[in-house]
Every structure is written in C-alpha cells, then in structure tokens.
Amino acid sequence: MLRYNRDVNGDIMTNIIILETAKKVINIELAAIKKMNERINDNFCDAVNLILNSRGRIIITGMGKSGAIGKKIASTLMSTGTTSYFLHPAEGVHGDLGMVHKDDVVIAISKSGETQEILSLIPTLSNLKVPIIVITGNLKSSLARYSTVTLDISVEKEACPYDLAPTASTTVTLVMGDALAVALLEGRGFSIDEYALLHPGGALGNQMLLRVEDVMETGDKLPFCNVTASMKTAVIEMSRKRGICPIILEDRRVVGVITAGDLNRLIEQNENFIIQPITETMTKNPKIIFKNELAAVAYKIMEEHQILAMPVLNSDKKLVGVVHLHDLMQKGIK
C-alpha cells in the first residue's frame, strides 16, 4: 500500500522514495566505516597500549552528539573491564575536572577538533601531564596538536542531505570506540566469567551466570534405571519423571537413555519391545553435559540436536541430574 508524505521541500514522498532514502543513508555510513577501516594504523595500537599501561582510569569527554557517543563508549569500556567515566566538558571547567587524576587517560571526541569547551580543558590536563587520545575528523586541528595520540574518524560526507547533522561521523566514532573496547578486552584477557560478574541482572545475567547445576533436577526427581533393569521398569520411570530415563551402570556412569521419542519409535517398529533388554532399545552414547557448564551451553546442545532433556554428569562422569529444555527456557536461557 502506497502512503504519501511530504519531504522538506513539500514534495510528495512515496514509500519507494522513503526506502531509497533509508538505503542511501545506510550506504553512506557503510562506506564511511570501510574508509576508516582502510586507514586505521599504528596510532590505534598506540592508543590501546597507552590505556593498557595506564594505572588510572579512562575519562571520556565530548560535546553534543560526540558527547552522546562518548557516554556509550564509556559504558562499553566499563562493562568490558576498563574503568571509564564520562566528563561533560562544560561542567569540567566549572569544577568537574577534579575527577581527573594524573594517572588517568583522557579520550576527547570532537569531529572538528576545535570544540571550545574541550579546548578549555587542555591547560589543566597539560598541568596534570595526563595523556590525551583525541578522536577527531580533523588531523590538523587544535585538539590534534595537543594530543598524545590521534585517531582519525573523518568522513567524506554526512548522511544528512545538507551535510550538517552528525550521522556518518558519529557512526564511525562509535565503531572506533567499539574497536578500542574489544582490543582492550582481549589485551587484558578479560574472561566470560568476569563479564558475567558485571552483568548479573536480567536475561543477560542468566545467560552468563546460570550453571547447569542451578537448573537440573536431582534427588527424588532424578530418573534413572540400571542397565540390568527391565524395559518395563525404564518406561514407568520415564513416564513418571518428564519423559527421559538415563540408563546407568552400577557406578552411575551413563551408557544410554530412553526417551518419550524413543518410546514412540519402538511402538511403531516392534510391539514386543517391552520384553526386549534395555541395551537393545536405549539410545547409546547420548548427549550429556557437565553440571558446571553454563546453562546456555546446554540450551545450544539441545537446540542443535533437537532433544528435550539431557543427563548431567559430575567431574567423575557420574550421573547427578537431568536438565530439561523447558526449564532453561523458563529461566530466560537461549
């Protein structure tokens, strides 16, 4: 269905024109990222090493749209193991510069490199001898001259039709910030467990922190049968306890499973299956998981192999529980 809107000149815009505009913006910003990727150089390495070798924190500053991007970069750095804070430059010259210590590193973001509010911070930062990483689109700017390291985020044009509103330039700045964050994450050897500790809330927290042993069924709810038991015993155990029955040896090592799916298949193939030995009817070498694995790993295994439950083993490879796909989904694991 065609809808009609008016553009800035009052001309009618069809949905086709609207989509063409969207694609034009996306292509301009993709091209800007590609250009930045082609020219990234040792300055980036210097910036990463400067931060890694610093004993202080990262202070990020920027005005307007650059400031908004700076806040996001600071947040990303903080969540990936690099202590960082945002300093509003206008507030900085009215007392907030007191948050900057001599061991810190400042990242100043300015497309023009001539942002007066940031330039006003330079004398104090120079007195503290604080290294300054400048992210700018103008390598010959005043800020670039004061920088310890300069990172180039210049763009040929903004996606804005008037080449005024920061669009492509803020996108490449954000990408540069992400590149710094990931390089620093890897440089620090920041682990998934450390990441989990910083993200304990909500679905992300569940993904990162929840272990299989936190979700598995144990005790009276744990189904199992000895390999010498009758097939009838295994079927009853399975039907009473949510559709799976691990088959174990005397030392509780798992040698197979009987599931509801197996039962349906056996009924179709052989009506006398109930009198067969378990070893002839069970699924041998089933998928298993260890109790200290992330619950998200269990989910991925079950999703990939289209199974609804798995035996859970301890470090001695002995049965200690069963984990169900439904329980993982209820916990927000995916």
- 174, 273, 198: which is closest to 232 by C-alpha? 273
pLDDT, averaged across the chain: 89
Going from the C-alpha of 177 to that of each of 75, 130, 165, the distances in angstroms are 10, 20, 20
Q: Domain 212-330 has what CATH class?
A: alpha beta
Tell me the C-alpha to C-alpha distance, in Å, between residue 307 and each of 80, 106, 175, 300, 311. Answer: 34, 51, 39, 10, 11
Contacts of 225 (CB under 8 A, 6+ apart): 233, 234, 237, 245, 246, 247, 248, 258, 278
> Is 327 a residue whose pLDDT tops 80?
yes
| H runs (alpha helix) in 100-230 | 116-119, 122-128, 142-146, 168-188, 192-198, 202-209
In eight-state DSSP terms, residue 214 is G
pLDDT of residue 2: 45
Give yes or no for residue 10 having a pLDDT over 70. Answer: no
pLDDT of the residue at 207: 63
CA distance 28 to 305: 42
Residue 323 CA: distances (Å) to CA of 77, 114, 311 = 35, 59, 7
Q: Which CATH class is domain 41-190?
A: alpha beta
Give the mean pLDDT of 131-137. Answer: 97
- The residue with greater pLDDT, 214 or 10, is 214
**Do residues 143 and 118 lie in contact, with contact meaning Cβ atoms separated by under 8 Å?**
yes
- Across 4-18, 32-46, 136-150, 259-273, least confident range: 4-18
What does the alpha-carbon distance between residue 97 and residue 150 come to, in Å, rounded to a whole number? 22
Amino acid present at 227:
V
Between 299 and 95, the more confident residue is 299
Long-range contacts, 228-235 (Cβ 8 Å, 24+):
228/278, 229/278, 230/278, 231/273, 231/274, 231/275, 231/276, 231/277, 231/278, 231/281, 232/274, 234/258, 234/278, 234/282, 235/263, 235/274
Local confidence band at 137 (pLDDT 50, 70, 90 cut-offs)? very high
Residue 234's nearest CA partner among 269, 283, 288, 298 is: 283
- On whether the CB atoms of residues 58 and 77 are closer than 8 A, the answer is yes
What is the percent of the chain where pLDDT is above 90?
A: 63
DSSP 3-state of 183: helix
**Given this model, what pLDDT does residue 121 score?**
95
Structure-token match 């598995």, residue found = 216
Most confident of 162-166, 251-255, 330-334: 251-255
Structural domain spans, the chain: 41-190, 212-330
| Sign for the pseudo-dihedral over CA of 181, 182, 186, 190 | positive
State the average pLDDT over residues 170-195: 88
pLDDT digits (tens, 9 = 90+) for 299-320: 999 999 999 999 999 999 999 9
Average pLDDT of the residues in 247-258: 95
Write out pLDDT tens, residues 30-73: 999 999 999 999 999 999 999 999 999 999 999 999 999 999 99
Residue 268's pLDDT is what?
79
